[in-house]
Amino acid sequence: MRISTGRVGRGDPAWESGSQAELPLRTLFSPHLPPEVHMPGHIVMLNIPAQGHMRPALAVTEELVRRGHRVSFLTTEGFAPAVRATGATALTYDTLVTEVLAPGRYQTPSPDMLAWSAVQFFEESVKLVTLARQIFADDVPDLLYYDMIVSPAGRALGQLWGRPAVQSTPSMASNDHYSQVMAVTEMSGVSSEHPAVVELLGRAEKFAADLGLDATTEFLVDWRADRSVVYAPREFQPAGDTFGEETTFVGSCHSTAYGKGAWEDPEDGLPLVVLSMGTLYNHQPEFFRTCVRAFDGRPWHAVITIGHGTDPGEQGPLPPNVEVHQWIPQLAALRKAAVFVTGAGLGSLMDALYTGTPPVMVPQVPETRVLSHRAVELGLGTLLHPAEVTADTLLAAVERTAADEGMRERVRRMPELMKRAGGPVRAAEALEALL
């Protein structure tokens, strides 16, 4: 469905054909609902077209729909099928951040590029506010669930509509004791006087003035939120014990589709190492050729994923103990793996801890470096700087991680912490409490 069709309500075919329309009326409207079921609400989801941000949000969406809520998800055409698979209504629009999220964009990011990317993401928020106000003018939602990258949009719409707004946070949370924006900014080397920072604050000031918002520019662009759901356990959060009920730490969130798939142990009987740089950082053919060389003839079975849009054949002839795929069922493979080499986005890092697989982290951008340093601080992984990656250093990092029994024991405790955090069910409960 394109947004030009106008408001989407209960009479819209897209709503009627969704999974909620198939629920018995007694489930939706009976006064004798089971204790865990709330009366249905209308929830609007705002996100960015990036796998690491969409995956946990889709898992929460799926759980909300299962509980009988109506979910409208503003998304791009590429993610619309995944949104519809959850039972939500996909309202597609043309994003302004295609260039920012293009393959290879974050392979060697400069401080200038990172700084100006924040301005482009802000403009995405401006566009989302305009679209959402048009689409839902006569169908104001009961709650907004917005990604941290488009926080200006979520906070503005919450105030304009007088509705609760909750931040979807695929990163670390922020409060008076810890600021993820400050940590990332310091890691990136971008100063507060950088022209892009000045431009961002200027646009935020105009945005607030034009909409009549009662909000500071710093609040609009910060990742600190009045209410947020964080896709990590509290134990992984810096200063985790200083966060109150306004922040819900739910750990990994996986949709039914993401959790599907099976993976068999290698027939050669060798220990398995999985290597994946995620979806934003995988346009690195030389890095993957280095991975092939690292395990050629070694006592490891290496499975390398390079992402869609890249031909596995570009890696040339492969040794018998190395596989290259565009995609694999990652959770299933990690459950069999001894080590996971990852770009250390929060989703991939949490997948490692969710499956009890110690990671070797090769972070590409300041945010993933911050996450990697936190994992090292907790003794949950090995850090390998991208500039230091060679076939020898990569192999050594994998072997050192596999042999570190203390690290392996700490990582083996993480699945239970993830389970206690609650995942999509706990996230949905936190949102329902505000309806």
Pairing of strands 301-305, 70-75: unpaired
HEC profile for the chain?
CEHHHCCCCCCCHHHHCCHHHHCCHHHHHCCCCCCCCCCCCEEEEECCCCHHHHHHHHHHHHHHHHCCCEEEEEECHHHHHHHHHCCCEEEECCCCCCCCCCCCCCCCCCHHHHHHHHHHHHHHHHHHHHHHHHHCCCCCCCEEEEEHHHHHHHHHHHHHHCCCEEEEECCCCCCCCCCHHHHHHHHHCCCCCCHHHHHHHHHHHHHHHHHCCCCCHHHHHCCCCCCEEECCCHHHCCCHHHCCCCEEECCCCCCHHHHCCCCCCCCCCCCEEEEECCCCCCCCHHHHHHHHHHHCCCCCEEEEECCCCCCHHHHCCCCCCEEEECCCCHHHHHHHCCEEEECCCHHHHHHHHHCCCCEEECCCCHHHHHHHHHHHHCCCCEECCHHHCCHHHHHHHHHHHHHCHHHHHHHHHHHHHHHHHCHHHHHHHHHHCCC
pLDDT of residue 32 exceeding 70: no
Q: What are the tens digits of pLDDT across the range 410-434?
A: 999 999 999 999 999 999 999 999 9
For residue 321, what pLDDT is reported?
A: 97
pLDDT of 289 reads: 92
Residues 267 and 403 in one domain: yes
Is 196 or 39 the better-scoring residue by pLDDT?
Answer: 196
Q: How far apart are CA 260 and CA 209, in angstroms?
A: 47
CA neighbours closer than 13 Å in the CB half-sphere of residue 19: 18
| b (16+ CB within 10 A) / e for 294-318 | bbbebebbbbbbbbeebeeeebeeb
Structural contact between residues 145 and 83, judged by C-beta atoms closer than 8 angstroms: no
Check residue 6 and give left, alpha or beta (phi > 0: left; psi -120 to 50: alpha): left
What pLDDT score was predicted for residue 10?
33
| Residue 187 and residue 46 share a domain | yes
Q: How far apart are the first and last CA of the chain?
A: 26
Q: What percent of the chain has pLDDT over 90?
A: 74
In this structure, what CATH number is given to the domain that contains residue 101?
3.40.50.2000
Given a cut of 90, whether residue 383 has pLDDT beyond it is yes
Confirm if 303 and 318 have CB atoms less than 8 A apart: no
Choice among 204-213, 241-250, 308-317 with the minimum mean pLDDT? 308-317
Does residue 241 lie in a domain region?
no
Local confidence band at 9 (pLDDT 50, 70, 90 cut-offs): very low
Residue 283, both tokens? 């346009």
What Cα–Cα distance (Å) separates residue 409 from each residue in 109, 270, 358, 414? 35, 21, 9, 9
What lies within 8 Å, CB to CB, of 386 at 6+ separation is 287, 362, 363, 364
Same domain, 85 and 162: yes
For residue 3, name the pLDDT band (cuts at 50, 70, 90).
very low
pLDDT score of 382 more than 80: yes
Exposure pattern of 115-154 as b/e (b: 16+ CB <10 Å)? Answer: bbbbbbbbebbbbbbebbeebbeebebbbbbbbbbbbbbb
Predicted pLDDT of residue 415: 97
State yes or no: pLDDT of 14 exceeds 90.
Answer: no
Domain that holds residue 92: 3-170+180-222
- Same domain membership, residue 274 and residue 161: no
- Which of 22-31, 131-140, 220-229, 334-343 is the least confident region? 22-31
37, pLDDT greater than 90: no
Residue 214 lies in a domain: yes
Task: Determine the pLDDT at residue 34.
Answer: 47
Q: Comparing 104-118, 164-178, 258-272, which segment has the lowest mean pLDDT?
A: 104-118
Per-residue pLDDT, averaged over 130-138, amounts to 97
Number of domains observed in the structure of the chain? 2
pLDDT higher than 90, residue 314: no
pLDDT, position 29: 33
Is 103 part of a structural domain of the chain?
yes
d(CA 338, CA 328): 16
pLDDT at 33 over 50: no
Residue 249 reports pLDDT greater than 60? yes
> Who wins on pLDDT, 117 or 393?
393
Question: Does residue 115 share a domain with residue 61?
Answer: yes
Q: Is residue 229 part of a domain?
A: no
According to the model, what pLDDT value does residue 308 have? 67
> In this structure, are 107 and 158 located in the same domain?
yes
The model's pLDDT over 346-356, given as tens digits with 9 standing for 90+, comes to 999 999 999 99
Tokens coding 339: 């080590």
Give the whole-angstrom CA distance, residue 113 versus residue 105.
Answer: 9
Same structural domain, 61 and 203: yes
Same-domain pairing of 49 and 150: yes
CA angle at 390 for the pair 171 and 313, rounded to the nearest 5°: 85
Task: State whether 97 and 164 are in the same domain.
Answer: yes
The pLDDT value given to residue 282: 67
Q: Are residues 217 and 282 in the same domain?
A: no
What phi and psi, each to the nearest 5 degrees, are found at residue 210?
A: -65, -35
pLDDT at 284: 80
In the predicted model, what is the mean pLDDT of residues 13-31? 33
385: confidence class by pLDDT, cuts 50, 70, 90 = very high
Residue with tokens 């986005």: 345
Q: Do 212 and 270 belong together in one domain?
A: no
Residue 150 resides in a domain: yes
Q: Indicate the average pLDDT of the chain.
A: 89
Structure tokens at 434: 């505000």
Distance CA 326, CA 307 (A): 4
More confident residue, 309 or 278: 278
Q: How far apart are CA 179 and CA 432, in angstroms?
A: 27
Closest CA to 339 of 373, 382, 280, 370: 382
pTM: 0.88
Q: With bands split at pLDDT 50, 70 and 90, how would you rate the model's confidence at 163? A: very high
**Same domain flag for 299 and 406:** yes
Give the residue-averaged pLDDT of 35-47.
82
Dump pLDDT digits (tens) for 329-376.
999 999 999 999 999 999 999 999 999 999 999 998 999 999 999 999
Q: What is the mean pLDDT of residues 47-63?
A: 96
How far is it, in rounded angstroms, from Cα 134 to Cα 219? Answer: 25
In a domain, 59, yes or no: yes
Is the residue at 248 inside a domain?
no
Average pLDDT, integer, range 245-274? 94
- Mean pLDDT of the 33-55 span: 83
Length of the chain as a residue count: 435
Query: 340, 332 in Cβ contact below 8 A?
Result: no
Query: Which of residues 312 and 112 earns the better pLDDT score?
Result: 112
Q: Is 166 among the domain residues?
A: yes
